[in-house]
Structure 1
């Protein structure tokens, strides 16, 4: 297993007391479509984690005004809706370098849980339509499977539709 995927698995076990099975694929899973093809599921069952930078949020955001949105791979995140959810002047995709420094993971492998810093997290209700969803497990070629309700609990997420 890739060392970053193993680190993710260990971090989740230590923090949440949960043993997740990490699945690795040679073809890569850095996009929702690629992950769905590798796993053999609908693209909509992929739980993509998008880290967003909030400008002047009214309510408390994460370090450096970052928040996480866990969306269905079939949906597109509405950044204006994210800004409104957090009472921010605006929201934008966070800079990849900031994500790596603050969250601890690189784009393409950012998991919905197990971050270096606690981020407020929102969760796309579309994912609740599935018995099992798949999230990144720390690398662009690793995912883990879980029930959507369990992922909401582990992420401490608020379920709200912030998609286009």
Structure 2
């Protein structure tokens, strides 16, 4: 890991997230990982944290109006689409082009803030309550090499997103 200041020019998405964090007076700037962390497991391994501490951004496509719906979820659990659709209505899959167009980020680097949608408005964002199992969580910072830490309460403050129950219950 290296800090944000002692590197060459960073990609536009990383800079957008850095600016959004600074604007919201978040106390920690994003970190640039030397290895890409496109998956929750890669991010957990690079950071030396548990898989559940990775706040992954999962994007869906709302069928009624084609709105992007994002759930910020714990990396060790799967989103339960039936639970989520209680808050959104029917959902469909979002491919890589749709995610990029609606968030401004490529899959593997989708941040919970700093959106720059090419089409429509940014996503409707929800935070899953299972992230509150941890004191510190890590989210993508606009690029597969970028991450930033926060508490679950800070994530709520940064995004203004509601906290819901959207995860599958693991089998005993």
Query: If the TM-score is normalised by the length of the shorter chain, which range does it land in?
Result: 0.7 to 0.9
Aligned to 1:76, the other structure's residue is in SS state coil
Which of residues 26, 29, 32 in structure 2 aligns to 1:21?
29
Contact persistence 1:137–1:143 (CA under 8 A): yes
Residues 113-128 of structure 1: pairs in structure 2 closer than 5 A: 113-116=113-116, 117-128=121-132
- Whether 1:71 and 2:73 are equivalent positions in the alignment is yes
Residue of structure 2 in register with 1:60 after alignment: none
* Contact preservation (8 Å) 1:9, 1:20: no
Contact 2:125 2:161 in 1 (8 A): yes
Matching of residues 1-164 of structure 1 within 5 Å:
1=7, 2-4=10-12, 5-14=14-23, 16-56=24-64, 64-86=66-88, 88=89, 90-116=90-116, 117-164=121-168
The CA deviation at 1:96 is 1.4
Unmatched runs of 5 consecutive residues or more in structure 2? 1-6
Three-state SS of the structure 2 residue aligned to 1:109 is coil
8 Å CA contact 2:61–2:68 kept in 1: the answer is: yes
RMSD: 1.6
Distance 2:114 2:21 in 1: 6
Instruction: Report SS of the residue matched to 1:53.
Output: strand
Task: Please tell me whether the aligned partners of residues 134 and 146 of structure 1 are also in contact (alpha carbons under 8 angstroms).
Answer: yes
Contact 2:21 2:29 in 1 (8 A): no
How does the TM-score come out when normalised to structure 2? 0.83
| 1:19 Cα offset (Å) | 4.9
Residue in 1 that maps onto 2:4: none
Q: 2-side partners of 1:49 and 1:101: how far apart?
A: 15
Q: Secondary structure at the match of 2:97?
A: helix
